[in-house]
C-alpha cells in the first residue's frame, strides 16, 4: 500500500491561540472539519480540543485552546492554554485575533514571540472590519512583525487558502517580547485607516424591528396580566379596545394578536438572521446592559424562551410524539406483536423499557430539550448573555460570586454538567466551589426545566410562583451562607462584552444537532437503565422494601403518594427523569396542586444526574463531590418538608 512506502511522518502540531471570543473554534472547525461549539461570549471553550487533518499531503494536528488575555494566566481555563504552549512545543502557533482590536492583538503577539516558536497571525472577523470601514494593511503589518499575516472570516471561509499556504511557515516573530507601548502606536498608524462605517439598513427598518419587539412584548404582557388578574378585570381596566368580539373587525384583531403572540417569537430569529445594520445591534447592545432598559428586555427574552419551550416544545411537540407516535402507534403495535409474559413486561409493562424509559426520554424530554437548545443557541450566539452578567453582578456579589458567574449559571439551564466545567472561567477556588454547588442545587437543566414548564402550565400562577420563588430563594440563601463560611475571597468583576451579532442559522442548527445527539447518547441510556433497574427490583419484590424504607419521608414528611418514591429514585439517576415521572403522575390526576408544588420543588433542588456527579468529582475532587451530594439531598428534602408545613400552616389553597 502507498502509505507503507511513504515515510511515516509525525504530524505538524499547530496550536491556535488568541484573546477570548475571537473565533479560534470557528477557525479550528474549518481546518479540521470537526465541529466544536462556537458561541458569542468569552469562555465558550474551557478545555483543549485536538483534531487531525491531512492538508495538501501533509498531516497536521490542530489544538484549539481556551482564550487568553495574556500569557501570565488568571483563571484555570487560561492556565490550560499557557501549559500547552510551554509544554508541547508546537511546530506553529496560529494566533487568531479580532481584526477590530489590533492593539490587544499585538500585545499578545509580543508575548507569544517570547516562546520562540514559528508564528502566523490570522486577523479574523474581516467581515466585521469591512462593515465598520476598518482597513488593515496586512502586508505592511507582516513586514513589521516578521511573520505572515492573513485576514480571514472563519464563518465563511474567506482567507483560508492563505492560512493553509502558511501552515509550514518557519518565521519567527521579530517583536521578541518588546514592550509594546513604543512601537504599537506607530504600527497602528501605519497599517490602518478607520471610519465609522456606512449604515446598511435604513432608519425605518431599524424602527420597524424595534416596533415589532415592543408589540410582541405588549401582547405577552397582556397574557401574563390576564392570567394574573383574570381577563375580565384586565379588560375592565383597559376598556374594551382589547376585548375579543364577535364582529369581523374583532376577529381580525384577535387573529393579528395571535399571530404576534405566537409567531413573532418564532419568526424573530429569522428576522434577525437577515443581514442588518450594525447600528441596531449596537443600540440593542446598549439597551441590554442598562438597568432601565435591560430588565424589560430580559422579561421579553424570558417570555420568548418560555413560548418556545413551554408551548411549542412541552405542549405541542410532546403531544404529537407521545399521544400521536408512542401511545397512538408504537405501543399498540408492539403490544400486538409481543405475547404476554416476561418479555412483554420487560418492554411494555409498568416499568417497561419502551413504555416508560423510551417514552419518557424521546416523547417527553427530547422535544423539550431540542426546542430549548434552539432558543438557547440563539441567545448564546447573539452576545446577549454577557450583558446579563453586567445586570446581575451586584446580586451575585452577595453570594460571594461576581457577574461572571452568571455565565455558568445560565449555561446550567442548558446542561448542568457542561456548565460545571464552565465554572473554570471563574478566577478563585471559592467561586468555583460555590458556583458548582448552586448549579447542582437549584439550576434546572433544559430537560428538567422543560418538564417543569409542561407541568406548571396546568396549575395556578400562584403555585408556579411558589415553586420558582422557593428555588431561587434557596440559591440565594445557600450562596449567602457558603460565601460567609468558606475561606478565600471572591475576585473582582472584569468582563469583556462582545458585540451583538446576528446568529448564523447554520451554527445554531449545528450546535443544536450536536447537543441533541449528546442528549440521546448520554441521557437516553440512563433513562432505559433506570427503568430496567426498577423492573428488576420490582420482579425481585425489592422495590416494595425500598419504597417502604423511604415511606416516612415521602408520605409522612412530604405528604406525597407512595408512588412518588419510585419517581424520586429515578431522580437519583437524572432529575429530569424524575420530573418526567412527576409530569406523568400529574397528568393522570395522581397529584394535588400542593403535592405538585412540593414534589417539583424537591425534585428541582435534588442532585442533577450521574454525569454531573462525575464531572463534579473531576473538577472538585471525590471528597467535595460526596459532601456536595449529601448536602443537597438532605437540603432538598428539608426544604420540601418546610414548604409543605408552611402551606399547611397558612392554610393556603392552591
Partner 1 sequence: MTGEPGVSLTELRTGDKARLVSMNPEVELRLFGFGLFPGIEIELLQRFPSYIIRCERTEVALETSVASQVRVTVVR
Residues within the interface to partner 1 (CB under 8 A) = 19, 68-70, 72, 74, 98, 100-104, 107, 132, 180-181, 285-286, 289-291, 386, 389-391, 393-394, 397, 402-403, 492-497, 499
Distances (CA, A) of 645 to 465, 555, 637: 17, 13, 12
Angle at 510 between CA 288 and CA 450, to 5 degrees: 65
Q: How far is the CB of 122 from partner 1 (least distance, A)?
A: 17
- Given the complex with partner 1, which of 13 and 289 has the nearer CB atom? 289
602 close to 640: Cβ distance less than 8 angstroms: yes
12 close to 168: Cβ distance less than 8 angstroms: yes
- Whole-angstrom distance, CA of residue 375 vs CA of residue 370: 9
Q: How far is the CB of 410 from partner 1 (least distance, A)?
A: 16
539 close to 547: Cβ distance less than 8 angstroms: no
- Whole-angstrom distance, CA of residue 416 vs CA of residue 410: 9
| Closest listed residue to residue 70, CA positions, set 100, 112, 120 | 112
Torsions phi, psi of 631, nearest 5?
A: -60, -50
Which cell numbers in the block locate residue 129?
472590519
Torsions phi, psi of 443, nearest 5?
A: -105, 105
- Given the complex with partner 1, which of 180 and 571 has the nearer CB atom? 180
412 close to 445: Cβ distance less than 8 angstroms: yes
Pairing of strands 92-98, 12-17: parallel
- Given the complex with partner 1, which of 102 and 147 has the nearer CB atom? 102
Q: How far is the CB of 42 from partner 1 (least distance, A)?
A: 11
- Given the complex with partner 1, which of 19 and 594 has the nearer CB atom? 19
- Given the complex with partner 1, which of 61 and 98 has the nearer CB atom? 98
User: Residue 369 is inside which H or E element, if any?
Assistant: helix 366-382
- Given the complex with partner 1, which of 226 and 499 has the nearer CB atom? 499
Residue with cell 397512538: 328
- Whole-angstrom distance, CA of residue 612 vs CA of residue 419: 9
446 Cα distance to chain centroid:
9
DSSP 553: I
- Given the complex with partner 1, which of 168 and 496 has the nearer CB atom? 496
- Given the complex with partner 1, which of 69 and 592 has the nearer CB atom? 69
Q: How far is the CB of 391 from partner 1 (least distance, A)?
A: 6
- Given the complex with partner 1, which of 17 and 616 has the nearer CB atom? 17
DSSP codes of every residue in 53-82: EEETTEEEEEEE----SSSS--SHHHHHHH
- Given the complex with partner 1, which of 135 and 592 has the nearer CB atom? 135
- Whole-angstrom distance, CA of residue 523 vs CA of residue 271: 34
| Closest listed residue to residue 607, CA positions, set 441, 495, 405 | 441
Q: How far is the CB of 132 from partner 1 (least distance, A)?
A: 8
- Given the complex with partner 1, which of 285 and 357 has the nearer CB atom? 285
Q: How far is the CB of 200 from partner 1 (least distance, A)?
A: 18
Q: How far is the CB of 41 from partner 1 (least distance, A)?
A: 12
- Given the complex with partner 1, which of 182 and 246 has the nearer CB atom? 182
149 close to 121: Cβ distance less than 8 angstroms: yes
570 close to 538: Cβ distance less than 8 angstroms: no
- In residues, how long is the chain? 654
Torsions phi, psi of 34, nearest 5?
A: -115, 125
- Given the complex with partner 1, which of 80 and 554 has the nearer CB atom? 80
Q: How far is the CB of 301 from partner 1 (least distance, A)?
A: 17
- Given the complex with partner 1, which of 68 and 591 has the nearer CB atom? 68
Q: How far is the CB of 265 from partner 1 (least distance, A)?
A: 27
Q: How far is the CB of 289 from partner 1 (least distance, A)?
A: 7
Which cell numbers in the block locate residue 18?
488568541
Angle between helices 291-306 and 203-229 (to 10 degrees): 70
Distances (CA, A) of 157 to 79, 125, 151, 190, 322: 30, 11, 11, 27, 42
Burial of 11 (0-12, 13-18, 19+ CB in 10 A): middle
Residue with cell 438572521: 273
Amino acid at each position: 500500500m502507498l502509505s507503507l512506502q511513504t515515510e511515516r511522518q509525525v504530524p505538524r502540531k499547530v496550536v491556535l491561540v488568541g484573546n477570548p471570543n475571537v473565533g479560534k473554534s470557528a477557525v479550528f472547525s474549518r481546518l479540521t472539519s470537526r465541529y466544536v461549539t462556537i458561541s458569542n461570549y468569552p469562555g465558550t471553550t474551557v478545555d483543549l480540543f485536538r483534531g487531525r487533518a491531512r492538508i495538501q499531503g501533509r498531516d497536521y494536528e490542530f489544538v484549539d485552546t481556551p482564550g487568553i488575555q495574556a500569557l501570565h494566566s488568571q483563571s484555570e481555563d487560561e492556565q490550560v492554554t499557557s501549559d500547552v504552549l510551554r509544554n508541547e512545543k508546537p511546530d506553529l502557533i496560529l494566533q487568531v485575533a479580532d481584526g477590530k482590536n489590533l492593539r490587544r492583538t499585538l500585545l499578545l503577539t509580543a508575548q507569544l514571540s517570547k516562546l520562540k516558536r514559528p508564528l502566523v497571525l490570522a486577523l479574523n472577523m474581516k467581515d466585521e472590519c469591512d462593515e465598520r470601514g476598518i482597513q488593515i494593511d496586512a502586508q505592511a503589518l507582516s513586514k513589521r512583525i516578521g511573520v505572515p499575516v492573513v485576514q480571514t472570516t472563519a464563518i465563511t471561509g474567506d482567507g483560508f487558502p492563505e492560512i493553509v499556504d502558511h501552515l509550514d511557515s518557519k518565521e519567527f516573530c521579530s517583536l521578541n517580547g518588546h514592550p509594546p507601548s513604543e512601537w504599537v502606536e506607530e504600527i497602528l498608524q501605519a497599517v490602518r485607516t478607520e471610519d465609522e462605517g456606512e449604515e446598511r439598513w435604513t432608519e425605518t427598518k431599524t424602527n420597524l424591528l424595534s416596533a415589532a419587539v415592543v408589540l410582541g412584548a405588549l401582547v405577552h404582557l397582556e397574557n401574563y396580566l390576564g392570567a394574573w388578574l383574570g381577563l375580565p378585570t384586565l379588560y375592565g381596566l383597559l376598556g374594551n379596545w382589547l376585548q375579543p368580539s364577535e364582529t369581523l373587525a374583532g376577529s381580525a384583531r384577535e387573529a393579528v394578536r395571535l399571530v404576534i403572540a405566537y409567531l413573532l417569537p418564532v419568526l424573530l430569529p429569522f428576522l434577525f438572521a437577515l443581514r442588518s445594520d450594525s447600528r441596531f445591534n449596537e443600540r440593542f447592545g446598549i439597551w441590554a446592559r442598562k438597568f432601565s432598559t435591560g430588565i424589560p428586555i430580559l422579561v421579553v427574552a424570558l417570555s420568548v424562551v418560555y413560548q418556545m419551550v413551554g408551548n411549542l416544545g412541552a405542549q405541542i411537540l410532546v403531544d404529537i410524539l407521545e399521544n400521536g407516535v408512542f401511545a397512538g402507534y408504537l405501543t399498540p403495535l408492539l403490544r400486538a406483536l409481543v405475547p404476554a409474559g416476561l418479555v412483554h413486561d420487560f418492554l411494555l409493562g409498568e416499568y417497561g423499557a419502551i413504555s416508560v424509559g423510551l417514552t419518557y426520554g424521546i416523547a417527553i424530554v427530547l422535544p423539550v430539550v431540542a426546542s430549548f437548545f434552539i432558543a438557547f443557541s440563539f441567545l448564546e450566539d447573539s452576545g446577549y448573555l454577557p450583558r446579563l452578567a453586567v445586570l446581575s453582578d451586584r446580586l451575585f456579589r452577595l453570594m460571594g460570586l461576581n457577574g461572571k458567574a452568571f455565565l455558568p449559571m445560565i449555561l446550567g439551564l442548558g446542561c448542568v454538567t457542561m456548565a460545571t466545567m464552565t465554572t473554570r472561567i471563574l478566577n478563585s477556588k471559592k467561586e468555583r466551589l460555590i458556583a458548582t454547588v448552586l448549579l447542582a442545587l437549584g439550576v434546572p437543566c433544559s430537560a428538567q426545566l422543560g418538564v417543569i414548564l409542561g407541568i406548571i402550565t396546568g396549575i395556578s400562577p400562584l403555585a408556579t410562583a411558589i415553586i420558582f420563588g422557593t428555588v431561587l430563594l434557596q440559591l440565594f440563601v445557600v450562596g449567602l451562607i457558603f460565601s460567609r463560611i468558606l475561606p478565600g475571597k471572591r475576585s473582582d468583576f472584569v468582563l469583556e462584552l462582545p458585540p451583538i451579532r446576528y446568529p448564523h442559522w447554520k451554527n445554531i442548527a449545528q450546535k443544536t444537532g450536536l447537543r441533541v445527539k449528546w442528549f440521546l447518547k448520554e441521557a437516553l441510556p440512563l433513562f432505559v437503565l433506570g427503568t430496567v433497574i426498577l423492573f428488576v427490583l420490582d420482579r425481585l419484590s425489592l422495590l416494595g422494601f425500598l419504597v417502604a424504607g423511604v415511606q416516612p419521608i415521602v408520605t409522612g414528611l412530604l405528604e406525597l403518594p407512595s408512588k412518588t418514591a419510585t419517581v424520586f429514585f429515578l431522580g437519583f439517576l437524572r432529575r429530569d427523569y424524575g420530573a418526567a415521572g412527576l409530569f406523568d403522575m400529574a397528568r393522570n390526576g395522581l397529584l394535588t396542586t400542593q403535592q405538585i408544588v412540593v414534589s417539583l420543588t424537591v425534585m428541582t433542588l435534588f442532585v442533577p444526574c450521574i454525569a454531573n456527579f462525575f464531572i463534579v468529582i473531576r473538577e472538585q475532587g471525590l471528597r467535595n463531590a460526596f459532601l456536595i451530594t449529601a448536602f443537597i439531598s438532605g437540603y432538598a428534602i428539608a426544604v420540601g418538608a418546610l414548604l409543605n408545613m408552611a402551606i399547611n400552616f397558612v392554610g393556603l389553597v392552591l
